[in-house]
């Protein structure tokens, strides 16, 4: 049985997850599959074992996020895993207000890269909005091992690591 693992929005090879097929919009980075992740995913329903998205969701237009999550759910096999990570917007704001990061660092985290339109951040998440995205798409989600968690409160994480299972 073939195991299919996808690194969605992997960008360059330097940032890709070993053992995963790289899927990205930017053809010059030579991903395994060139695809716009705001369109239907080019994979059959129930064909993928695992999806990895690291700092990708913030690059999806807000109105396209429910579709993106439903596509991830669609292509995963039963029991399949979607894992990844991204910044916690609440903590970015708090760090700036507390003087822990500079104004330019704050803007960089909020707006992201700007060399290409798809590198810009189009949305942000806090604990509630990220959890809501997964739950509405049908996933069971865990936020274990997120850096900066204080007393088990994932709302304090400076970025989220998640594991979401298709149940």
Q: What is the pLDDT of residues 90-134, one digit of tens each?
A: 888 988 998 988 999 888 888 886 676 667 899 999 888 999 999
User: How far apart (Å, rounded) are the C-alpha atoms in residues 130 and 19?
Assistant: 26
Q: Domain holding 108: CATH number?
A: 3.40.50.150
Give SS3 for 40. coil
Which DSSP state fits 114?
Answer: -
> Residue 129 is inside which H or E element, if any?
helix 127-137
Q: What is the model's pTM?
A: 0.88
More confidently predicted of 157 and 66: 66
Which residues span the domain enclosing 98?
Answer: 5-166
Q: How confident is the model at residue 12, as a pLDDT?
A: 66
How many structural domains are present in the chain?
1
Provide the CB-side half-sphere exposure for 108 (13 A, CA).
5
pLDDT tens digits, one per residue of 28-81:
888 999 999 999 999 999 999 999 998 899 999 999 999 999 999 999 999 999
User: How far apart (Å, rounded) are the C-alpha atoms in residues 51 and 146?
Assistant: 18
Q: Within the chain, how many helices (H) and strands (E) appear?
A: 4, 7
């Amino acid at each position: 049985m073939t195991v299919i693992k996808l690194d969605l929005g992997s960008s360059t090879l330097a940032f890709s997850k070993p053992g995963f097929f790289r899927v990205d919009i930017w053809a010059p980075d030579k991903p395994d599959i060139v695809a716009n992740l705001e369109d239907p995913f080019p994979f059959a329903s129930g064909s993928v074992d695992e999806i990895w998205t690291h700092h990708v969701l913030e690059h999806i237009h807000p109105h396209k996020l429910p579709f993106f999550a439903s596509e991830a759910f669609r292509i995963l096999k039963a029991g399949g895993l979607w894992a990844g990570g991204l910044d916690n917007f609440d903590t970015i704001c708090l760090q700036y207000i507390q003087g822990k990061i500079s104004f330019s660092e704050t803007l960089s985290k909020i707006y992201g890269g700007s060399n290409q339109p798809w590198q810009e951040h189009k949305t942000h998440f806090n604990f509630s909005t990220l959890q809501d995205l997964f739950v509405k798409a049908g996933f069971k989600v865990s936020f274990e091992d997120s850096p900066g968690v204080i007393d088990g409160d994932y709302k304090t994480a400076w970025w989220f690591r998640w594991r979401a299972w298709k149940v």
